[in-house]
Amino acid sequence: MPIVLLYHDVTPAGQDDLSGFPGPGAARYKLQPDDFRAHLDAIQRIAPTSPAACFVDGQASSQAWMLTFDDGGSSSVQPIADLLEERGWRGWFFITTDRLDTPGFLTRPQLQDLYRRGHVIGSHSCSHPLRLSHCSPEMQLSEWRDSRLELESILGCAITSGSVPGGFFSRGVAQSAAKAGLRLLFTSEPMTSPQRMGDCTIQGRFTVYRGMTPSSAAVLLRSPWPRWRQSAWWTTKKLAKSMGGEAYIRLREQFWRHAYAAP
C-alpha cells in the first residue's frame, strides 16, 4: 500500500504569504526552505526507494511512497521542485486552477515547466471551495471537470488525478471526481489502503505540518505507530467537523490565530 505525504508551500521565514493561500490558517502547513530540505534529507536516509511518480493499484508489497503538494503555490517550482530534483525525485502537484497567474501562485509557463521536468500535475479544484463536500453535486462536478480541462489545455496531456481541497472528502466528492474523469483521488485522510469507488481509486495521505520535525515526517514512511496516531487525531477532528460545521471552522481559525500570537 502506498504511503503518501501531503506537503503545501515552502516559504522563507516571515514571508508566509509569498506562496499559496494567505493567512494563518494556511501558514500552519508551510515549511521554511531549510526545514523542507531537512525533511527530504531525513526521508532519503530511511526511504527504501525513490518516490513514485506513477500510481499502480496493488502496490501493497512494493513499499511505494509519494510526495504530494497541494494548492499550486509559486514555491512549487522554486524551491520545492529544485530540491526534489537534486535527489532525482519527482513530486505530485495539485493545482487550484482559478489561482493560476495570480500573486503567490504558479503562472501558466511555470506550470508547463514543472510538467516538462517530469512532475505529475493534478487538479485541486477550480476555486478551492471552503467545504467542497457541502457544495451541490453540480458544483462539485464543475469544480473537478473545469479544472481538469483547464490543466489539459495548458499542458496538452490527460489529467487523471486530483486532491480534495480543504480535506472535505465525502462519497459525493469522490463520485463527482470520478464523473469528471479523474481516476485517482487523494484525500487528506491519513490512511494507507486505497479504496475503489467506481472507476476512481481513493488514496489517503499523511499531512505534514509546520513544526513537524524531519524525523517525525520521515518515520511516517517506516512505522505504523505515528500513522495510527495521526489517524486517531484525524478521526476526532472529522467528528468535530461533522458536528460543528461553520462553528468548527471558526474555532479552528481562532485556535491557530492564538497559536501564532504566542511567543
Which residues here bind Zn ion, judged by CB under 5 A?
70-71, 165
Q: Tell me whether residue 165 or residue 204 sits nearer to Zn ion (CB atom).
A: 165
Q: What are the backbone angles phi and psi of residue 186, rounded to the nearest 5°? A: -90, 135
Q: Tell me whether residue 26 or residue 42 sits nearer to Zn ion (CB atom).
A: 26
Place of cell 495521505: 205
Q: Tell me whether residue 20 or residue 181 sits nearer to Zn ion (CB atom).
A: 20
Q: Tell me whether residue 42 or residue 67 sits nearer to Zn ion (CB atom).
A: 67
Distance CA 110, CA 91 (A): 15
C-alpha cell at 36: 523542507
Contact call for residues 46 and 25 (beta carbons, < 8 A): no
Closest CA to 33 of 100, 83, 69: 83
Q: Tell me whether residue 70 or residue 189 sits nearer to Zn ion (CB atom).
A: 70
C-alpha cell at 153: 489545455
Q: Nearest distance from residue 71's CB to Zn ion, in Å?
A: 5
| Exposure string over 108-126, b if 16+ CB within 10 A, otherwise e | eebbeebbeeebbbbbbbb
Q: Nearest distance from residue 203's CB to Zn ion, in Å?
A: 16
Q: What is the dihedral of CA 195, 197, 200, 201, to 10 degrees?
A: 0
97 alpha-carbon distance from chain centroid: 14
Question: What does DSSP assign to residue 81?
Answer: I
User: How many helices and strands, by DSSP H and E, does the chain display?
Assistant: 9, 9
Q: Nearest distance from residue 20's CB to Zn ion, in Å?
A: 8
Q: Nearest distance from residue 224's CB to Zn ion, in Å?
A: 26
Q: Tell me whether residue 131 or residue 222 sits nearer to Zn ion (CB atom).
A: 131
| Closest residue to Zn ion, based on beta-carbon distance | 70
Q: Nearest distance from residue 58's CB to Zn ion, in Å?
A: 28
